[in-house]
């Protein structure tokens, strides 16, 4: 955030607005809980998630096993902690692909507005946009083989047009500003203007959209994993925990409850944070309140 061209008083106003926005604060707390769970799982989990212990299988939630155990006697709470790591990693890298590839494309299209390259980038975008993403992701992972890397790629590809379109649209209006005109008069090239004057002013929008795509990525990863097309065993993942729970809900419903709640609260947290950030970044919306 240090490269944002924001006056100190304005930044203080943003922090104040953030603290006063209930949806942002709830979202932030939920998101931090899951990031913390994922980070802690690298050093410590209550039980070893790769250790099968058939004697302890399908235990009800108790003091020893907070969320109970699965059909192989693994501790569900520990599995959810490690699963958070997988979900966050997959969604984060998928958003990263979207930003790293999509934003430069959008900036290029805007800098060369109306040219052939703009046309080519935007038409390709529209094509990718028209595809049902989940369906194509299922097809790609089915052919390339199920793995976390392929899930990331399949989800990431469909993030590219989202960011390209957003960056182009916002950049087009920024190109009309006086300070861009001043930079052009000063002799700066299009690439340099895009990097120095356009990109920093897109940061807010990208952060908000990034949060939303992050939550969609977590849902998509869960869907792929539910199909057995995401992260492979022995590493647990929320989606696969749910697909394994499907046959067990008659005898042990909690097996299906907790991984689902983990997905819901993570996605909810990110969405609330995204909504909150949009209000905070947009002073017009803030004044309207």
Binding site for other proteins (CB under 8 A): 123, 126-127, 130-132, 134-136, 138-140, 142-144, 215, 219, 222-223, 226-227, 242, 245-246, 249-250, 253, 256, 260, 263-265, 267-268, 271-272, 275
Q: How far apart are CA 102 and CA 94, in angstroms?
A: 12
Residue 3 in contact with residue 200, Cβ under 8 Å? yes
In the complex, least distance from residue 286 CB atom to other proteins, rounded to whole angstroms: 15
In the complex, least distance from residue 109 CB atom to other proteins, rounded to whole angstroms: 17
Q: How far apart are CA 68 and CA 88, in angstroms?
A: 23
Of 8 and 132, the one with the shorter C-beta distance to other proteins is: 132
Among 276, 286, 287, 289, smallest CA distance to 18 is for 276
Of 91 and 111, the one with the shorter C-beta distance to other proteins is: 91
Of 101 and 136, the one with the shorter C-beta distance to other proteins is: 136
Of 50 and 246, the one with the shorter C-beta distance to other proteins is: 246
Q: Which residues contact 33 (CB under 8 A, 6 or more apart)?
A: 265, 269
In the complex, least distance from residue 134 CB atom to other proteins, rounded to whole angstroms: 6
In the complex, least distance from residue 81 CB atom to other proteins, rounded to whole angstroms: 19
Of 4 and 139, the one with the shorter C-beta distance to other proteins is: 139
In the complex, least distance from residue 252 CB atom to other proteins, rounded to whole angstroms: 11
Q: How far apart are CA 285 and CA 289, in angstroms?
A: 7
């Amino acid at each position: 955030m240090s490269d944002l061209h924001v006056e100190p008083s304005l930044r203080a106003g943003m922090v104040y607005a953030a603290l006063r926005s209930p949806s942002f604060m709830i979202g932030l707390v939920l998101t931090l809980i899951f990031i913390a769970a994922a980070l802690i799982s690298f050093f410590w989990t209550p039980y070893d998630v790769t250790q099968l212990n058939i004697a302890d299988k399908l235990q009800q939630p108790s003091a020893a096993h907070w969320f109970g155990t699965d059909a192989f006697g693994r501790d569900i709470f520990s599995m959810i902690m490690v699963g958070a790591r997988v979900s966050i990693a997959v969604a984060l890298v998928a958003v990263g692909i979207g930003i790293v590839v999509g934003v430069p494309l959008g900036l290029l299209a805007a800098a060369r507005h109306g040219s052939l390259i703009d046309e080519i980038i935007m038409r390709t975008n529209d094509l990718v946009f028209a595809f049902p993403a989940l369906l194509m992701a299922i097809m790609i992972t089915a052919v390339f083989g199920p793995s976390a890397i392929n899930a990331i790629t399949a989800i990431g590809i469909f993030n590219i047009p989202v960011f390209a379109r957003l960056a182009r649209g916002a950049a087009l209006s920024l190109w009309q500003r006086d300070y861009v005109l001043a930079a052009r008069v000063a002799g700066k090239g299009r690439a340099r203007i895009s990097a120095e004057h356009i990109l920093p002013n897109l940061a807010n929008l990208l952060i908000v959209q990034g949060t939303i795509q992050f939550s969609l990525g977590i849902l998509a990863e869960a869907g792929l994993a539910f199909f057995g097309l995401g992260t492979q065993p022995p590493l647990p993942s929320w989606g696969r925990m749910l697909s394994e729970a499907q046959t067990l809900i008659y005898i042990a419903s909690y097996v299906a409850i907790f991984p689902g709640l983990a997905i819901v609260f993570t996605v909810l947290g990110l969405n609330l944070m995204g909504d909150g950030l949009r209000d905070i970044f947009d002073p017009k919306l803030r004044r309207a309140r």
